[in-house]
Structure formats: C-alpha cells, structure tokens
Structure 1
Amino acid sequence: MKRKFKLSTIITLFGCMVVLISLLVTDILITTTTSDRIRSNQEEKAQIVSRTVAESTIVKESLIKKENTTAVQAYTNEVQSITEMMFIVVIDINGIRYSHPNPERIGEPFVGGDEKAVLKGEEYVSISEGTLGDSLRAFTPIYDNSGNQIGAIVVGISLDIVDFALHQNHRNIIRGSLLGIIVGIIGALLLATYIKRMLFGLEPYQISKLLEERSTMLQCVHEGILAVDEYQKITLVNKSARRLFEKAGLHDDPIGMKITDYLPNTKLGHVMETGKSELDEEHVLNGIAILTNREPLIVNNKVVGVIVTFRDKTRLNELARQLTGVRTYVEALRAQSHEFMNRLHVILGMVQMEAYDELVVFIRKIVDLRNQDTELITKSIKDPVLAGFLMGKMSYARERNVLFTISRDTSIKHELRVETSQEIITIIGNLIDNAIEALASSEIKELSVELKEQNGKFKITISDSGPGITEENKKKIFEKGFSTKGDNRGFGLYLMKQSIERLNGYYKINTSEKGTTFEVEIDADLMKDGVENDN
C-alpha cells in the first residue's frame, strides 16, 4: 500500500527544500561575486601603493644615480608597514633589486619571471611565487623626468591573506544560510499548522475522499440540488437538476451563471437577506410545477450561499394520488366492515327471535340502500379516486349516525388531473370531517354533498344541519392551529384554504343556528384530465 504522508510533513519538507535550494543558489552567487570583489579590491590596493611609490623622489634619484641607498630601503619598509603589504621591491631597468624586506637580497636579480613586461613599460597584476612565497603582485614602471624608464616597482600581497578574506566572507554567508534554513523550517511548520487548522485537521487524502463521496452522493440522489454562492452565482448542479432543467427547455450549462439570469423569480435573494429557510414552496419553471426547499448556508453567522432542493410536483402528485386511493379504499373497507358487523348483530337477533318477516324487510332495505349509494356515485362521478373517497366518507358518516346524501344533481364527467386530484380531496375531505364533528351534538344529523360543473366552474357545495359558526370563530377558523376541539387540532380548514388558493378558486360560507353551507368554485378547465365519458 502506498504510504500517505501527512500534510504537515509535506509542507515542512517542501518548505525546507525550497529554502535550501534558494540559499544554496544565493550562496554560490554571493560567494562568486564577493570573491571577485575582494580579489579586485586587493589588486587595486596593490596598484595604488605601487603607483605611489613609483612617483617617489627618493626612489627616482636612487635609480638615476644607480646607487643602492639606505633611504630607498627605509622608505619602502615604512610604506610596507603602513599599507600592510607583503613586500615592496624597487628594481632597476636590469631587474636588480634596490629594496627588499630581506636586506641581504638587495643587489640581487628579481625572482619570479613575471617582471619582464614591466621592464618594457607595461603596468599589470600577476600571481607568482618568489623568495617570500606565493603572492599577488602589482607591477608599475618608473620613469625619470625625461620620460625614460629607469626601473620598476613591485608590490606584493600574500595569497594567504586574500584566501583568508575569502574564507571569512564565505563563513559569514554560511552562517546566514543556516539561519535562513532554521527560519524556513520554523515558518514551514507554522504554515502547516495554520493550513491544517483551516482544513479542520483533515489530511489531503481525507479531503479527496470526502470530495469524491460528496460528488457521488449529490449525483445519485433523485432530488434536484442547486447551490449558489454569496454573489448568487450557481456553483453546483447535480444530474437530477440538469434533467429537470432540460425538461423545462433550459439547455445551457448553468455553472457560473447568476441565478436570477438562469432561473428568474427563485426568491433566493430573500433567503440570503433573512437567513431563514423556505420549505415546500411551489414554483413554476417554464410550465413545469416544482416543489422547492431553500436552505441558507451560514458560516460564522454570515450567509455565504443557498442550497436549493426541488422535485417535479407532477411525480409527487402521482404518488399522492396512488396513496390517497389506497388510503380511501382502506378507510372505506374499515367503515363498511364495522357497519356490516353491526347489521349482522341485528340479523342474528331477528333470527333468534324468529322474526323472519321483519328480517326479510330489513335485508331488502340494506340491499336497496347499498345499491342506491353505489349506483348514484359510480354514475355521477367518473373519477375513481374521488368516487371511492366519497363512498368511504358515506360509510364513516353512517358510523356516526349522520345521514349522508349525495345530491342527484352531482355530475363529474371527467377524471381529475393528477396535479389537482389531491387538492380536491383535501378540500372535500376536510369540509366533510368538520361537518360530521359539528353534528355530534345535534339532534338532527344531516349532511349533503353536491359536485357539479356550472357555467365553466367546478362547484363544490357541502351543507350540514349543525349549530353553525359564530361570527368570532368565522374570522379565525382558517388560521393554522385554531380549533374549538382542543390542542393539536386546527389544521384541516387551513389546508383546505391553501388548496383552494393553489387552484385559483374562492369559497363562501353561509352559517346560522340551523346549519352551515360551504361553497367552493374552481375553474372547470383546471380539473379536466382526459376525454368526456357520458356512459
């Protein structure tokens, strides 16, 4: 298995390597430049001394007279001492010494072999080995007042002194480099600690794994997911969202676009301003109804973006319709089973009493009533979900001793649209349930339902013989959580009102001490789903 290094180790090693290479290159450049400068300074110093001595009157007079005077030796020794030169040698045109650090060598020929050019009038610097060892030598010719060369000056600087200066300079550079490496290591460690703290202590391979898992998770979910940054630019769109956008006719790549340019009226600006979530909001996208949830992304008490999740409401409506049909069927079976058991007890009692004539009449009434209810609903209402729902409510009403009647004027010749079926059942179901509960304390318990199309409107009328609604409660019954029946109630009429508003309908209430009538009207074109069936 390949070893994975820690982030702090990687940053420290990399930082040290960068510092080390930088200092190494700097050391080479500085050493080379400084060495050249030191050598140049020493050469220049030697040339200055040699030129100064070459202009000396004492030296010139001695060479002109061709006399080795002690004055020349004394003069050169004094200059040599002041300037810290290795030697200062005066030679005549024949290369014979007139001065030397060792007096015994005065009068002897100059040694080194590099003096020939100066005796021909050239001025230069060379390195050579003489009687005093290796030295850097500056040669300067000496001329008399007529411009004739009469000798030369040789000034020498020990190479050991030059090398010492170079080594001293190099040691200083090395000390600086070592200090730089130490500072670089400390800086790399501090940087690694800071970066790791910013990354919540995660190592690079852990961040990579999290990123891959996040990407796979976002692409696999069936809900559409879209994220925007603090500038409202889209930063993330998963596959489900792209499919829904393509279905809505939006084929451009949204990444990097401003959300208001790609999806107008998304209300994300409001979420970013308030920092509050908006859940289960409906939004129409090029004719496609979607259900959206908007969650702000808050970091350090600041909104830095918004996450939006959404689903195609048509699919949700299809699932809701299927679930509603199953639930309605179960409720109808439960109510009918309970009702059937009660009637079996009546039949058992009549059999035991041998009241056979009365039993026949009772059974015929049951059969006639069941046939009438079933025939009326199935002929008048062509939507199977709504028909089954009403049959279940009729059985539920009989359990509560409520006379439930379907108006013979009821007529629905079309199946309801998927997107409106759930809303209609919510409206009718909550009105019927509230009416049955209101009739619990009434002597006369009657409830009637009428559903029909009239003048291009789908009209729902539900009337009961209950005690009515007071004027005070009439203003509050549609508020969420308001109820006269106790805690954890008061949601039915609130949901009913929302469904009516979503279908662009309106409602009217007529109430008195003799009962209450709810009338709801919706555009009939919103309800149709399929072809008319008059059979």
Structure 2
Amino acid sequence: MWSPSRSVVRHRVRRRRTLAGQVLVLQLAVVAVVLGAVAAVSVHQSTREFRDLRGGRMLSVAESLASTPIVREQLDAPLVEQVLAPDVDRAASLSGATIAEIVAPDGRVLASTDPTRVRGRADLGDSDAVRGRGWYGDVTVDGRRSIAGHVPVLDTDGRVLAVVTVSENYPSTWMLLSGSGARLLIYLGIGAGLGAVGSVLLSRRVRRHTLGLETAEIATLADHREALLHSIREGVIAVDTDGRITMINDSAVALLGVEPGVVGRPVDEVGIDPGLTEVLLAQGEVEDLVITTATRVLAVNRRSATMRGDAASGSERRGRSIGTVTTMRDSTELASMQSQLTSHKSVTDTLRAQTHEFANQLHTISGLAQLGSYDEVTALVGTLTRRRAEISESITAHVHDPAVAALLIAKTSLAAEVGVRLDLDPASHLRALDPTLSTDVITVVGNLVDNALDVSRDSGAERIVVRLQDEPDLLVEVTDSGPGVPEDMRDVVFSRGVTSKPDTPGGRGIGLALVRLVSVQHGGTAVVDDSDAGGARFRVRIPLG
C-alpha cells in the first residue's frame, strides 16, 4: 500500500498552519484578551471617578440653588416654572449639568431646564432629599443613567417644600475609552510587537528542539514509535544520564518483572535484579552480555544515546549524551539447550577418552597374545575390569538415581583424562529422583563439575570432591582445588556470564548462571565460599517436598 513520504506530509502540514503560525495566533489572542481586560478595568475606573467627582459637583450646585432665597419664596407663584427658569438654567450652565430641576415632594416637576418636563413626574430614586437630607447617586432621567445631586428646600419649621435636582448623564463607553485611547493604542502596539517577536523566537527554539518537525509530524512519529517499541519481542529500556527510566516497552516489563508505570523512576528503585541494574546504569557499549535474573537468562546489548542535530538546531548540543538504550532477549530456553548440548558433549568426550583408553588396552592385550603371555593377558583384563567396577560401585553405592550416577561416572573418566581426580564424598546419599528434578540436578552437577575441572587443572592438587545429600533438602556440593572466588565476586559469579561470542577470551559460558537459575526456580539457593583446602566450594540447596 502506498504511503505518503515525509516531504509530502510536511508539505501538507505547512499548508494547514505551521507551528510558528499557531504560536503567533495564540499570542496575539492572549494580547487581545489582556488588552480587553485592561480596557474593561479602565472603563470601570473612569466610571467610578466620574461618579465620585461629578456626583459631588452636582450636589454642590444643588445646594447652591436650594439656598437661593427666590427659590423658597416663589415656590407657590402661579407661573413658578417661568419665575425660577433663569436660576435653574444658570445652575445647569455653570455646572455643566445635563438637566436641573425643582421638584415638589410628590415628584411633580415645578421648574426645569427642559420645558417639556414641567408638570411631569421626576424619578427621585433612593434619594434622601424628601426626608430632609442631601443626597447624590444614580438615577434614570429620560431613560438614561445619570449621576444626580438632590438637596431639599426647607421652610423655617424644617418642612420639605421642594427638592432641587441637578443631574448629568454618564458618558458612553466609547467616550470613556477615548480619554485613554492613546494609551490603549500604545499598549496594543507594544503587545502586538512583543507577541510577534516572542512568537518568532519561540518558534525558532521549538523548531530547533524538534529538528524542524511540525506538531502533526511529531504526533505521527510518536504513534509509530509506540507501536514499534511495543510490538517487538525484544525488551527495550532507555535510561537517562541521571539513572531514570525514560522508556520501557511491554517485552521489557515482562522480562524484568516490573510494573508498567516505572517510567520516570530511578532504575535502582523499581525492583530490577542488582546485576542487571548495574549494567543499565553503566555507560558505554556492551554486546551480547549474558545476565541471569531469578527466573531468566538474558542476552543484553547496550548502546549510548546521543543528541541528534544539524546546522539549524545548534551544533553545540550535537553529540551530547542523553543516556543509554539497552535491548535484551530471553535466552532461557537457549541456555537450557546449551546446557543439554554441553552434557551430551561431555558424554561424547568421555566416550572418546574411553575409546582411546580401550584402544591402548586392546593393543596391549594383542601384543601380549602375540608374545604368548596369556597369563599376563588374563591378569590385565582382570585388573581393568576391577578398576572399572570399583569406579561404578563407588558411585552407585551412594547415588541411586541412574541419570546422576551415569553423569558422575562419565565425569570421573573425563577428569582422569585431563589429570584431575574426581571423588564422591563417602557421606553422600541420593535417592532416585523425579525425572524432571533429576534433569535439573544433572544440569547443576554437570555445570559445577565442568567449572571445577576448568579451575583445577595445573593447580597442584588437581582434585575435585562432590557431595550429594537428600535429607532434609537436596544438597549438591562441589569443592575444587583452584584459586577460589574473591568475596566481592561471589554474587556476581552467579548473576553474570560473559559474551556469547565464541572468540571472546577468558569466558566460561553461562554454566554458573544456569546453576543459580535452576536453584531459584525450585525455591532454593546457590552460594560459594572457601573450602578447607583453599579452593572454592559451591553449594546448591533445593527444597524437597
């Protein structure tokens, strides 16, 4: 199926809208919202200032008009609206008020700067003037919100004769803004300029850190990355330079036996095997390193992860280490097969050695027969038969499991060929085992004996002692005459093998790792300490029951 190339995808993304364009639009929207908020606050403050300032002014004008003697004297005149009109007009013109009126206590307009309102009704609102006190506040005049000052006109007895009202309409929102329009334009220009410059700088920084990819491309790559990582069978785990897990796929979760939500946590706090934790926290590259956990044998590869970059993304960060990426594959079954092949090879080597030995013996018998020394032939055959029988009887008398006994007989012959003496401890006793357990015991004994043969050659004593017990638990103990195992290596020797490449020098495979794996699978233990003779003593204990 055809799929669009990266260049086509990027072209489509650009046609929609680039990340820089999105950032610019977002920042301009933020600037617009901020300026709108500033304008709202400015209108509110201007309104409050207008109310306080003009309200006090309207109250003062109303007090001045109410204190005029002609107002009190002419309230009952037949043509009061004409008599008092000059004073009312003068008060409005001097104060800049919209309208000035003299109102009867019942709300009827006696005189007004607007002749059409005479004999009409005035809205006194919540005014305290009808109760003999001066007041200013908001009222509605001809359907418009106004700030008004109300002052009562009192007679000598304190009775309210009339109310003088002086009011001014609130300015419109546009008029309030026009007073600070220049400042708002400056704010808008500065905000737009800073937003544009900031968006350009931010888009360049984002582009540099995303290697020029747009948001849709990043999302697509992230989806592909997740699908790829979680679909492969190999475990993959990434660790940053601070020792924290930055990525782990499903296979790694299963192989390591950790919880899925360990991303972001330190490696040494999530319950990973200590030997593997040490490998994950180390730097540099590792190829096909064999690590054993409590239940698995893992082949591990580690690579350093570095920062990618190009000329546009900044060469100063290119090549900087960002951690390591470790892949691991489950080699448990492969290791078991390798152990079985090693056992078969051991038997083959034993048969080859015995063939070589029997050939020499047959040549000797043939020569004696040709010389006519038939008594010597009989004596030689008897000696060889007794020696073979002694080896078999010394083992089968204590080991009643046929498979384990056969393995020890074969290993004894193989050890003799390389000049090492293999003895079975006289205190040993092993009953016939379940076939499954017998196979695992063969793996343990075979690998421990092979390891002992490797270290006991040319050691001077060249001796290996095997002890087997089945009460109360199954105990396998192998003592060699080698140099021993240093204390700081006694745990590592079971948990880490060497590279699986056949040309790697100094490797002994994963035999000891398999020994611990088998013991842990049965709920047992595998330890090593110093023997009385100075070599190493390996002990494997497996519960029976």
Higher Cα Rg, which structure: 1
TM-score (norm 2): 0.47
